[in-house]
A = this chain, B = another copy of it.
């Protein structure tokens, strides 16, 4: 008897196989396998391949759970789950849950519920009860919001660079952005922003974090503002003393956003256990076993 968990992200998919005692038997990683991002056929191919590398005996799998961002927006979640079961060669149903459920379980394995903040390119906070998302804050995507996430950080960096492109002496953040975009002047900066896919702005986020670590005032203002936006997403949902879990590179990578966020969350929710999400795929396998 084995249990299979998958953590399906936009850029990485991770699969883990547990035995009945919760010991890890196998693990594999692949590229992003999200049907919302890639279309169902391409996503299924990625998932089937990573499962084939993880599971030697599909007939022995007693439970399978798949954490997926945007699961609530899938046109036909039941159809996709059944297609996964068939593609994986399983005899048990595949269960789809929100990636927020898996992220929460990866940070607070024993808790029946609480709040999880996921800040990577986007930014969303979710209230979790069991394997259900009961409330959301943020998560509107790059076009409409996601303040404090990687796209937002990159956009703030670009706005700053545009405003200060002609300063003398040159401002460090502005110069770093102009260099990263290979832009000699403000007009070239705008062309860089508009000629590529919008999410490319998120690639500038690490510049801000690096410069903030050197004490650059402009970068520190932006990271502090990101921390405030992210803490506000949690505050919009969090109640009682349930755990708060942080997930996603912007919220969890060591540095000024993470530090500022921790400080704000500790001040606002002093009794809530505060953790960083661990291994999502292992959490998905644990959830599969708990449900199986």
- The residues of A with any CB-CB pair to B shorter than 8 Å are 72-73, 140-141, 143-145, 155, 158-159, 162, 187, 190-191, 193-194, 198, 201
Contact = CB atoms under 8 A, between A and B. Distances in A.
Contacts of A72: 187
A211 to B, nearest CB: 19
Copies in the complex: 2
A208 B144 CA distance: 17
Contacts of A158: 144
B190 A144 contact: yes
A194 B194 CA distance: 16
17 contacts: A73-B187, A73-B190, A140-B159, A140-B162, A140-B190, A141-B190, A141-B194, A143-B155, A143-B193, A143-B198, A143-B201, A144-B155, A144-B158, A144-B162, A144-B190, A145-B159, A198-B198
A181 to B, nearest CB: 12
Contacts of A193: 141, 143-144
Contacts of A191: 73
A233 to B, nearest CB: 13
A66 B279 CA distance: 61
Contacts of A155: 143-144
A10 to B, nearest CB: 14
A2 B159 CA distance: 45
Most buried by B among A141, A155, A190: A190
A72 B186 CA distance: 11
A255 B83 CA distance: 54
Given A73-B190, A140-B190, A144-B190, 7 more contacts: A72-B187, A73-B191, A143-B155, A143-B198, A144-B158, A144-B159, A145-B159
A241 B174 CA distance: 33
A122 to B, nearest CB: 12
Contacts of A73: 187, 190-191
Most buried by B among A141, A144, A155: A144
A187 B70 CA distance: 10
Nearest to A187: B73
